[in-house]
Amino acid sequence: MFSSSSVLVLVALLAQFGAAKPVAEKRWDDVEVKHAWVQLPKGWEYHSAPSPDYMLELRIGLKQDKLDDLIQALYEVSDPIHAKYGQHLSKEQVDALVAPHPDTTAAVNEWLEHHDIDPASCHSRSSAGEWLTLHVPVSKAEEMLDTTYGVYYHPKSDEYVVRTTSYSLPRELHSHINVITPTTYFSTMRSMKATSFVQAPQPKTEVNAASFAENISPLAVPSSCGSTVTPACIAALYNTTGFVPKSTATNKLGIAGYLEEFASDSDLQTFFKRFLTTAEGTTITHVQVNGGENNQNDPGVEANLDVQYGLGVSFPTPLIYYSTGGSPPFTPDSNTPSNTNEPYLNWLDFILNQTTVPQTFSTSYGDDEQTVPLDYATSVCNLFAQLGARGSSIMFSSGDDGVGGGNCETNDGTNRVLFQPNFPASCPFVTTVGGTTKVNPEVAVDFSSGGFSRYFAQPTYQATAVNKFVASLGTKFSGLFNASGRAYPDVAALAEGFQVVVGGGVESVAGTSCSSPTFAGVVALLNDARITAGKAPLGFLNPIFYANATAGFNDIVSGSNPGCGQAGFTAVAGWDAVTGLGTPNFGLLEKLIV
């Protein structure tokens, strides 16, 4: 017979074994909210519950083990007085810095296995291993993320998406996982904002491009360029006349396109015939990303604008147009796996996995910063840091809403009226381009978005210039903006009256979408000059612009950017939150930074 003491010991042992599994389960059941919206993002409405079997392409961003080292390296190679200036990192060097720590990989793998998912089944991982992707049904995603997905409708774009208003992770994983998508980021391919718009019909002006170019001298800009902008106007205004690129075998300009926009090859030839005869016959390279299309029968104003003026300024620098696609329109009864439909991630995932990348990029899209979850915005911004560390200069248009569009109410439940910054314009690792209008002199255009991030802190490279501007405001707009946030735009360029060929005819187009490819074209010329001189391309531009090159910009000292029921910021001497440092003078910049 067993003694009473033996029975007690046996019971205790059995209890321990029985408790082992619940303890392990508790490890993953102890969850904490990763991100949640206080209210449904504006413009969206709940439609229905998705089928539990609807397949999601779940993308998990793991914590990058040496991200701080990457950002430090980015600043070192971008600082003109640092010993490592211009020593950009290779793809392999970047991958080594952003790879997750083995403990992170192990923890996430154990979590996946807990949910009966074989980590080896992840159908694609980034080359560094910091992003992994798996296909799971909605029911499984809801179980993993302690959430409920819904089908949401966006009436303005007539688009449906599967999203959730909050998601959670085990507490243990908060230090290992940066973001999971698709979850709470509601922007889609068609609800993003393209920063261009067709202007009201202007008086027809026939321009003989060849004679115009021959009879114009640098910086002698006809008054007609104030309302009718052509490549010859830009060459004169920004002092690129006479510069001929020589390193076209190496130097490239990339345009990132979204919103199912396609650049028309025939429209490009018509544009050259009318406005840049020396470029006739020149073609661009089309690269289709994530199911992107190239429908030559349906050209987009945005895509044509970007290509025609990016190449119109930098000719004959080769141009690559990246058409980034999204998933097909969602239908509530579809079981077809969909991608995240979150374009920056799709494009960045593609471009960062390329061995070689263009030295200059321009992108003309964005969202209100407050509509982008902080975890998502931070992850995307850090991907731009990777691209900059590899030696690419990245331009983004600042937006067309002044200090904020619509009613400017916050989405945190308080409905306060605040100036509304844009993203990715507010990311500190891109160069953001505001807008001007007119010539002799240029003035700030009233829709040029500018302001201060509420997500990202002010980077040191702009502190002196920005703090001087903030101090000049005194108490004006007190409480309406975050004075310690990353300030933008960094620079500016013309933004109205661009003559763009669309469908064989000429449209007059406005928006900071005009400004970004124009400025990027000038940067491509600067990169050509540096490469020809045997130097590294410029890479991340902001540190050298703010420190060494302010004299290379045309300072814009009049105009403002109203919005949110306020007069907005005013362009003043030095940096301002309407036109940044000003518009480029290529000749001076070439002397200063080449």
Confirm whether residue 497 is marked as ligand binding: no
- Dihedrals phi, psi of 449, to nearest 5 degrees: -70, 140
Q: Is 399 annotated for ligand binding?
A: no
Catalytic residue flag (residue 379): no
- Cα–Cα dist 499/153, whole Å: 36
The residue with tokens 């010329």 is 525
Residue 542 to residue 538: CA distance in whole angstroms:
10
Per-residue tokens: 135: 């296909």
- Contact present, 304 and 297 (Cβ < 8 Å): no
Residues 485 and 549: their CA atoms lie apart, in Å, by 23
Beta bridge pairs of residue 167: 35
* CA gap 51, 337 in Å, rounded: 12
CA distances from 306 to 33, 113, 299, 358, 522 (A): 40, 46, 12, 16, 13
Cα-only R_g, the chain: 26
Where residue 517 falls (left for φ over 0; alpha for ψ -120 to 50; beta otherwise) is alpha
Asked if 513 is an active-site residue, the reply is yes
* 267 contacts 304 by C-beta, under 8 angstroms: yes
Q: SS3 of 348, please?
A: helix
Partners of 508 in beta bridges: 499
Q: Which of 397, 513, 515, 560 is catalytic?
A: 513
End-to-end Cα separation, the chain, in angstroms: 94
d(C-alpha 235, C-alpha 400), whole Å: 24
Task: Select from 480, 460, 383, 386 the least CA-distant residue to 424.
Answer: 383
DSSP state of 199: P
Query: Where do the DSSP E strands lie in 205-252?
Result: none
User: Are the C-beta atoms of residues 527 and 537 closer than 8 Å to each other?
Assistant: yes
Would you call the peptide bond into 80 cis, given omega within 30 degrees of 0 as the criterion?
no
574 is in an annotated binding site: yes
Please give the Cα distance from 413 to 154 (Å, whole number). Answer: 20
- The residues that bridge with 137 in the sheet, in sequence order, are 55
The residue from 142, 302, 442, 490 that is catalytic is: 302
Residue 204's alpha-carbon distances to 198, 213, 222, 563, in angstroms, are 15, 19, 17, 31
DSSP of 128-190: TSSEEEEEEEHHHHHHHHT---EEEEETTTTEEEEE-SEEEEEGGGGGTEEEEESSS----TT
Rounded to whole angstroms, the Cα distance separating 341 from 189 reads 7
Is 401 marked as a binding-site residue? Answer: no
Catalytic residue among 79, 261, 267, 306: 306
The verdict on whether 25 is a catalytic residue reads: no
**What are the residue numbers of the active site?**
302, 306, 513
| Residues placed in the known binding site for Ca(2+) | 555-556, 574, 576
| Residues placed in the known binding site | 555-556, 574, 576
